[in-house]
Structure 1
């Protein structure tokens, strides 16, 4: 499996939230849903996405935008237009009188702008490894968007067929995967160094070896043997292409894997340590604290608070996902 496939593998929406909104100028909506990842497209008109701590990004009709992170952001006709409404997770999916489709009639069905967005609801749907590889906002322009997918999403948004939530979830996944693959292909100047390194056959092969078996007791010498290069040649080319030495990259990758396993499973810290290449809990804890500033146990506790309601209003235990 190549490195990009490794990042994209496991993306799976579960009960994603969707919103279709018609607007007349001037308009501006603040989003505070706390979603780890949101896709948005203007089906009609133009918009600006204004992140909390970054420059506004223009989005034209048919463009697909991906917004990363839980920080609030604004979508507006102009960056200077103040938010007229703030949307959180409870208001994201507006319901019509029958409890079915989003009701936008009060906003004017013939408005100058039509926004369609879909938001993932939890970190378990998207790995931290993928989130760390993305900017706060990225845009794929309409000329490169897979129109059949977008057309299917629009059709599902206005339909009322059985199984529509599952269809919407899977279509959101496909749109995200297609959009990200296109963006990585077009954005080598902005993509992570490991992606640009895929053009170097030896370094790309070394990356695949590390990703395929992170728990292996790798050294630069045995990694070099697998690529057909000398130890010094691999170390030099890997560092030049990826931006850090092979063993430093491996440590970061192991900690990223451990962070996802701590969040996504109930496995013990010791078993996770062995799974990602550490002999015991102590070894993982030292490396985790050095890179993340907290211990594995603290990371798991932050991801799964012992108290506090989930989306269904019930208290959630660590590692517990409410039944759907």
Structure 2
């Protein structure tokens, strides 16, 4: 069965590692202005400081992970006071702070593979698409800091070995490992006692509501009712509805409607299926029924949403 986090990560994909085995020699400071929706930062060796525009500075020790929610720019430096020496505007496009092209690449970077010799930054941009991705981004702060695990991170160790090597299949392996790193980082972030985790995530730990959420996410097209969910959970309808509303923050059928519309929006964006076909996939009897619910929830008709999404993708 599916779960809420897995469902929201369906359309989140790594866009590649920007820095691999490049050693950053102090003093160094990089400003990232790529307008990326989600970025993961970690130090394979050494330490740094991450500062989002308008936000507080967070330390990055070896093994720490920082998730930065875009599209606002942010800076990574060897010290909070080091001024940016280069601006990364897109993969492979870097300029000086005044906008002049940088001849010969980043001045503070040099190739090398000697651990501990200098700082090694791994920065990963993730493509976050659709309504599902937006729900995930809404659950994150501008900057989420996940301290290094006491026993280390096996995924990060495997990534470090891959980026330091140059063997066939490296890019494919890195894509899989970077997917895994994001999922594990999100789970660690939501588990931190200082984190204001979203209700839909915390509710998954409840034996009754968690099972209901997995059912709704796994098969939104099923004709669910409060009575059916309560029967599945083994408690009364009234007790189930009260428990779900208390833990999730919305009634079961309202949550189901939001999830159905979220899935419908993504299907309309990512496929050529008709509105009627999409309606059947998410549990509506007709295109009219879906259109009415879609307009109530998102404020536009399904066809308008599809047109806007394709226009944005083309732009």
Aligned: 1:107 with 2:109:
yes
C-alpha RMSD of matched pairs (Å): 3.3
User: In the TM superposition, what is the alpha-carbon distance from 1:31 to its structure 2 partner?
Assistant: 1.5
- Choose 277-286 or 300-309, whichever is displaced more: 300-309
Q: Hey, what's the Cα distance between the residues in 1 that align with 2:206 and 2:109?
A: 52
Q: Does the 8 Å contact 1:36/1:123 carry over to 2?
A: no
Instruction: State the match for 2:281 in structure 1.
Output: 275
Q: 1:133 to 1:144 in 2, by over 3 A?
A: farther
Q: Hey, what's the Cα distance between the residues in 2 that align with 1:76 and 1:120?
A: 21
Aligned positions, number = 301
Instruction: State the match for 1:3 in structure 2.
Output: 3
Q: Hey, what's the Cα distance between the residues in 2 that align with 1:92 and 1:164?
A: 23
Q: Normalized against structure 2, the TM-score is what?
A: 0.80
Instruction: State the match for 1:134 in structure 2.
Output: 140
Q: 1:136 to 1:187 in 2, by over 3 A?
A: farther
- Choose 83-92 or 5-14, whichever is displaced more: 5-14
Instruction: State the match for 1:68 in structure 2.
Output: 69
User: In the TM superposition, what is the alpha-carbon distance from 1:241 to its structure 2 partner?
Assistant: 0.8
Instruction: State the match for 1:174 in structure 2.
Output: 180
User: In the TM superposition, what is the alpha-carbon distance from 1:66 to its structure 2 partner?
Assistant: 2.1
- Choose 221-230 or 131-140, whichever is displaced more: 131-140
Instruction: State the match for 2:305 in structure 1.
Output: 299
Instruction: State the match for 1:150 in structure 2.
Output: 156
Q: Does the 8 Å contact 2:11/2:129 carry over to 1?
A: no
User: In the TM superposition, what is the alpha-carbon distance from 1:200 to its structure 2 partner?
Assistant: 2.3
Instruction: State the match for 1:196 in structure 2.
Output: 202
Residue ranges of structure 1 left out of the alignment (5+ in a row): 94-101, 310-324
Query: What secondary structure, in the 3-state scheme, does the structure 1 residue paired with 2:184 have?
Result: helix
Q: 1:14 to 1:268 in 2, by over 3 A?
A: farther
Query: What secondary structure, in the 3-state scheme, does the structure 1 residue paired with 2:76 have?
Result: strand
**Which has the higher relative contact order, 1 or 2, with Cα contacts under 8 A spaced 6 or more apart?**
2
Query: What secondary structure, in the 3-state scheme, does the structure 2 residue paired with 1:38 have?
Result: strand
Q: Normalized against structure 1, the TM-score is what?
A: 0.78
Instruction: State the match for 1:97 in structure 2.
Output: none
Higher strand content, 1 or 2: 2
Q: Hey, what's the Cα distance between the residues in 2 that align with 1:243 and 1:48?
A: 36
Q: Hey, what's the Cα distance between the residues in 1 that align with 2:267 and 2:168?
A: 34
Instruction: State the match for 2:46 in structure 1.
Output: 45
User: In the TM superposition, what is the alpha-carbon distance from 1:34 to its structure 2 partner?
Assistant: 3.4
Query: What's the CA shift string for 1:165-223, capped at 9, x where partnerless?
Result: 11211121121122222223335852111222223211112212222221222222222
Query: What's the CA shift string for 1:125-162, capped at 9, x where partnerless?
Result: x8444434433332221125753322221222122212
User: In the TM superposition, what is the alpha-carbon distance from 1:53 to its structure 2 partner?
Assistant: 5.1
Residue ranges of structure 2 left out of the alignment (5+ in a row): 95-103
